[in-house]
Structure 1
Amino acid sequence: MFSLTDGALLYVSAAYDAMWGRDGARLAEAPGDWIASVHADDRAALLQRWEGLREHGAYDEEYRVAQPDGAMRWVRDRAFVVKDAMDQPYRIARITSDISGRKAMESRLRAADENKNDFLATLAHELRNPLSPIRTAVELLGRAGPDAVSVQGKARAVIIRQVDHLTRLVDDLLDVARISEGKLTLRQEAVELDGVLKAALETATPGLQARHHAIEVTAPAQPLWVWGDAVRLAQSIGNLLHNAAKFTSPNGAVRLVVDVVADGMVHITVHDNGIGISAENLPRIFDMFAQGAFAPDRAHDGLGIGLSLVSTLVTMHGGRLTASSPGIGLGSAFTIALPLMPAPAAATPASAPSAAGLQGAGSALSILLVDDNVDSAEMMRDLLVALGHTVELAHDGASALALAALRTPNVMILDIGLPDMDGAELARRLRALPALAHTRLVAHTGYGAPHDREKTSEAGFDFHLVKPVAMADLQAALRAT
């Protein structure tokens, strides 16, 4: 509290010492000394408000205070003139509160909001990119003559490649959501690394070939075993290969190198001669939504979640992911380090699932397809007919029950989100009919989380296919291969 008559300091709280990082007792000797700690950018405006306090009667300001060690603390400073019985001002009272925590939270919220907006804009961009060639390819197919085999083949290849890209985007988004909710689980077992590498290369090769990159693989001849989830490990290595293809200008070189190191670890490294990573971006390259430099023909490509996802998956396997780069334009290397395990005892190869109870396995099947999306149902029907099967359609559960009882199909492919009943409920009702005891039930749905698969399994489904389904998975479910 200050006196307006002589400017003397009448009282200062003991909290001043911690808030200002100065001795409050010394403030009595120099009442104006507090202003020296105010951040230089805030000082002039605050002095103006302080000097105009007698005229205006009060102020409420937020500003920064510099600590002796250079740290900054945010405060809210409220000052008002105290008047006597004659309504004459004679003192100034001040209440100063530490609001550093609130300001830090506001800063994080603003950053999160900016990240959200950037992410949504990037997501829209990434979704439009594959949708554009898909639509163009469809238009081309409609205009190409029946004899334009090469045009048709090229259009189909474009559509398949872009749908695969969309599927990868959706899968990454779902994985990030599961990780944030602590719901991502691994199905770990002894895994031979060669099979993981082949699966990763299979998924990444189309992207590498599309950009005309040379791919070189170097790995030890002896089998290497790790304890892990083969699908997630292949996904992680595939993501690194996909990134190398994406962030390397066309006609580049990508190397996949596997090394056994002395500490019982195996290093799986993806090298490229692409755009590289700047020194300032390298420490945050695994942060969610991080975007570094980009290839000249692939501006801001990707959602910025792939490397964060790979880092999390590798850590869940007891390994680590590291990145290195000499700098912009000089390429980069990403290394997955995993602990090796001894080769397991020879295991009996798993026998192929029995086809007993499935009439027509490996030949023409009678199929009942149930989907309320008419376009999706008709396209799938036409594909199944092209594969040599007989197909009937139903668009709701009640119609499906009636047709199934009448036709007794070999296979029923069911959507889960039907208008009149849940697909799982429909499956339970179908299983209750003795005539359908041996009918194969295949869930064909956009829901692909582990609990979704558990739900369909409990309802009596034999297969769970996630839209958009790959041809190999569809044929495996039909047993037509």
Structure 2
Amino acid sequence: MHPQPQPDPSQRHALEEEMAVLARDLAQARAELAGVQADLAEAHAQVGSHQMYQLLAANEQLVLDAMRSRGAAESTAELVAELTRTSELDPLTHLPNRLLLADRMAQGMTHARRNHGRLALLFLDLDGFKEINDSRGHLVGDEVLCTVGQCLVDVVRGEDTVCRLGGDEFVLLLTQVAEAADAGLVAEKLQSTLAALAPAGRVPSPVSASIGISVYPDDASNGEGLIDAADRAMYASKRAGGGCHRFFSMLQHSAQERPPAARVAPARQDERSRALRDANERLVLSAMAATAVADQQDQLLKELRDAAKNKDDFLSVLGHELRNPLAPLLTTLDVLRMRGGGYETVEHATMRRHVSHMIRLVDDLQDVARIASGKVDLRMERVSLEHVALQAVAMARPLMEQRRQHFVLHHPAEGISCWGDPVRLTQCVSNLLINASKYTPPGGHVALTVRREGSQALVTVKDDGRGISAAALPDVFNLFFQERVDAGALTDGLGVGLALVRSLVALHGGTVAVSSAGIGLGSEFVIGLPALAEEDRTAPAASGPPPSVPVQPPPRRILIVDDNYDAADLLAELLRLYGHQVWVATHPVAALKMIGTVAPDLALLDIGLPGMDGYELAARIRQVHPDLRLALVALSGYGRAADQDKSQRAGFSAHLVKPVDISALEHVLSSVHAAP
């Protein structure tokens, strides 16, 4: 063996000095990292618990509003269905009434005309029913009518119609009758069935009926004519002693067909009068019920409109309150980037990503009505699915690390791109990853795979967790659906995540599917998106080049008026880094005094100022300083179209929504000038 060479003393000294320098650099890096961690903790404290609580509370309120609206709509539908049912059915026997009979006759006659067929109408009047009412009372009489009605239904076919016209009169509509004689066979069957009711103990005394029969189109060409013909034939049966049937076609067309009104038995006149009174009472009750339902519908519609307006106002205020703390955070990141020569550290980029995500969530809250109707504003661009996967993993990794789960990411070396909204696609994949982690026990496995299959880009999330039962698989993407889980599994949430994934993927022209072998056997979710062709992917997909320092607009004299001290001071510092002269006022009275002294050419006015809002301050500035060439720009947490229109009507040249995007601010500074 050769002896090891001994280092030269001078080299040893140089190595020791280099190690000391590295140790100092390491200590400094650790100190900087600790500062960044403190900044992150402070940022999380500001935009974490309180704002997330507000977001969750807002989401719960939206769900409750949606459930109340759905309940009100269902109640209204039930009321309308009940009104329709009661208007078409006899309240005693629950058989169709004259209104529904007319509709059934019209349908039957149309079918008969098209197929050159026939239909028959049997007009049935009970014999001796008045004696039952007089001797045993109306309650027994009503029971007899109900029994007879059910008996008639049991005799005819399912496609035929049994109707109670009123009193003791019934009508049977027989469709698709081959021969007129077939209706006579049905009448004979009815008579024998009615005769069997008393021996069976179903009615207190024997029951029979006088039946008149008319046939379409032989006896009449319309419904009223058909009823009138059968009614005449029924009177012929009554004159023959009752308990029989007669065809209208067999009657002799003479004055004897129907007794004159003066010769009608008094008992028959009483029955007719009572039937008319009953019909009139039902019409009055139906009209009163319809009026009550209409009033209730109007009240429900008013409550729905009020609820929708309250929801919009609530979301608008909530968005404003959430934007206020986000504004100084985003401005701080812009200041730090400017100080870094246009580049950001990894830590600052992480903060910007999460602040931007919070801003997007606020945008969703203020646009929730459009989301519910499927009108989501997608910001489409060429997207690298590898980049989407990495962003989603960064959002889901804390939960997987907390549960000590094993995670694997597979993606091809050549990369896969599609056309889509990177934030929304990241949201979809992160939702699936977080779901997989929630329903996989500690120590379990979660895998994310990105691959290409023909013209489809596939993103697969697979786990070995609790799985999904076969019965629940068809419903997992339904809104508010949650399958009952074991006591040890995480179940927080309202069951909207997977429904949102399906809606967003569909807006990208894609699909999402789920499979599971059953409870305890894990699950697999697959998102399919149209992949860009090879010629469309020659340039790298957009994860974005390193940020550069924007071209600075010409120096301006700017006054910032905002009662949020942090937001105003940080925005002022950022503008000064761009070379502008900036003054800050935190109260509208101070701003009015300062304008006369500093003579700015542009003023950024917060709309939500105390004591005097931005609109009033703008009017006062124009009034006090009419000759000052000053461009006014509105700053507000409210970003709806109505808010921007209001700013324009108030004389503002532009409307910036908090937190202010630096590129939007640069555009305003370059393009907005006072009118000459």
Place the TM-score, normalised by the shorter chain, in its bin.
Answer: 0.5 to 0.7
- Structure 2 match to 1:205: 397
- Mapped to 2, the partners of 1:454 and 1:225 lie a distance apart of 39
1:308 paired to 2:499: yes
- 3-state SS in 1 of match to 2:459: strand
Q: What do you get for the CA RMSD once the two structures are aligned?
A: 6.4
- Structure 2 match to 1:140: none
Give the gaps of 5 or more residues in structure 2: 1-88, 91-97, 109-117, 127-137, 147-152, 170-266, 287-292, 312-353, 577-581, 667-676
- Structure 1 match to 2:204: none
Please give the per-residue CA displacement for 1:70-117, whole angstroms capped at 9, x wherever unaligned. 99xxx999965678433589979999x9xxxx9xxx9xx9xxx9xx9x
- Structure 2 match to 1:257: 449
- Structure 2 match to 1:86: 270
Give yes or no for contact 1:416–1:424 (8 Å, CA) kept in 2.
no
1:320 to 505, 511, 515: 511
Please give the per-residue CA displacement for 1:358-388, whole angstroms capped at 9, x wherever unaligned. 98xxxxxx995724xxxxx467689999x9x
- Structure 2 match to 1:62: none
1:394 paired to 2:394: no
2:142 to 50, 54, 58: 54
1:27-38 matches, within 5 Å, as: none
1:13 paired to 2:101: yes
1:179-194 matches, within 5 Å, as: 179-194=371-386
Q: 1:253 to 1:414 in 2, by over 3 A?
A: farther
- 3-state SS in 2 of match to 1:309: helix
1:40-439 matches, within 5 Å, as: 54=142, 84-86=268-270, 176-262=368-454, 264-294=455-485, 296-297=487-488, 300-342=491-533, 343-346=536-539, 352-354=548-550, 356-357=552-553, 370-371=562-563, 377=564, 394=586, 399-400=590-591, 402=593, 416-418=607-609, 420-422=612-614
Please give the per-residue CA displacement for 1:403-439, whole angstroms capped at 9, x wherever unaligned. 5776799x99865544643589969x89x998988x9
Give yes or no for contact 2:386–2:450 (8 Å, CA) kept in 1.
no
Give yes or no for contact 1:384–1:391 (8 Å, CA) kept in 2.
no
Residue identity in the other structure for 2:434: H
Q: 1:339 to 1:296 in 2, by over 3 A?
A: same
- 3-state SS in 2 of match to 1:13: helix
- Mapped to 2, the partners of 1:402 and 1:226 lie a distance apart of 55
Give the CA deviation at 1:268: 0.4
Q: 1:236 to 1:422 in 2, by over 3 A?
A: farther
Q: 1:169 to 1:287 in 2, by over 3 A?
A: farther
Q: 1:445 to 1:219 in 2, by over 3 A?
A: same
- Mapped to 2, the partners of 1:417 and 1:241 lie a distance apart of 40
Please give the per-residue CA displacement for 1:112-134, whole angstroms capped at 9, x wherever unaligned. x9xx9xxx9xxxxxxxxxxxxxx
Q: 1:378 to 1:225 in 2, by over 3 A?
A: same
Give yes or no for contact 1:254–1:271 (8 Å, CA) kept in 2.
yes
Give the CA deviation at 1:229: 1.5
**Under a length normalisation based on structure 2, what TM-score does the superposition of the two structures give?**
0.40
Q: 1:349 to 1:86 in 2, by over 3 A?
A: closer
- 3-state SS in 1 of match to 2:527: strand
Give yes or no for contact 1:442–1:465 (8 Å, CA) kept in 2.
no
Give yes or no for contact 1:417–1:423 (8 Å, CA) kept in 2.
no
Give yes or no for contact 1:294–1:301 (8 Å, CA) kept in 2.
no
Query: Whose Rg is larger?
Result: 2
Give the CA deviation at 1:174: 5.1
Which structure has the highest helix share of the two? 2
- Mapped to 2, the partners of 1:453 and 1:241 lie a distance apart of 38
What is the count of residue pairs matched by the alignment? 367
- Structure 2 match to 1:133: none
Give the CA deviation at 1:314: 1.0
Please give the per-residue CA displacement for 1:270-294, whole angstroms capped at 9, x wherever unaligned. 1223332222222122222222234
Give the CA deviation at 1:453: 8.9
- Mapped to 2, the partners of 1:295 and 1:415 lie a distance apart of 51
Please give the per-residue CA displacement for 1:287-342, whole angstroms capped at 9, x wherever unaligned. 22222234635664212222222211111111111112222333222211011113
Please give the per-residue CA displacement for 1:121-161, whole angstroms capped at 9, x wherever unaligned. xxxxxxxxxxxxxxxxxxxxxxxxxxxxxxxxxxxxxxxxx
Give yes or no for contact 2:448–2:459 (8 Å, CA) kept in 1.
yes
Residue identity in the other structure for 1:268: V
Give the CA deviation at 1:177: 2.5
Residue identity in the other structure for 1:346: A
Q: Return the structure number with greater relative CO, CA threshold 8 A, min gap 6.
A: 2
- Structure 2 match to 1:40: none
Please give the per-residue CA displacement for 1:175-231, whole angstroms capped at 9, x wherever unaligned. 652223454222222222222222222222233334443322111111211111122
- Mapped to 2, the partners of 1:399 and 1:56 lie a distance apart of 90
Q: 1:26 to 1:296 in 2, by over 3 A?
A: farther
Matched-pair identity in %: 34
Give the gaps of 5 or more residues in structure 1: 3-9, 32-49, 59-64, 121-161, 360-365, 372-376
**Under a length normalisation based on structure 1, what TM-score does the superposition of the two structures give?**
0.53
- Mapped to 2, the partners of 1:477 and 1:209 lie a distance apart of 39
Give the CA deviation at 1:265: 0.6
Residue identity in the other structure for 2:562: V
- 3-state SS in 2 of match to 1:85: helix
Give yes or no for contact 1:208–1:245 (8 Å, CA) kept in 2.
yes
Give yes or no for contact 1:415–1:444 (8 Å, CA) kept in 2.
yes
- Mapped to 1, the partners of 2:516 and 2:469 lie a distance apart of 8
Give the CA deviation at 1:232: 1.6
Q: 1:296 to 1:187 in 2, by over 3 A?
A: same
Give yes or no for contact 1:368–1:404 (8 Å, CA) kept in 2.
no
Q: 1:306 to 1:453 in 2, by over 3 A?
A: farther
Which structure has the highest strand share of the two? 1
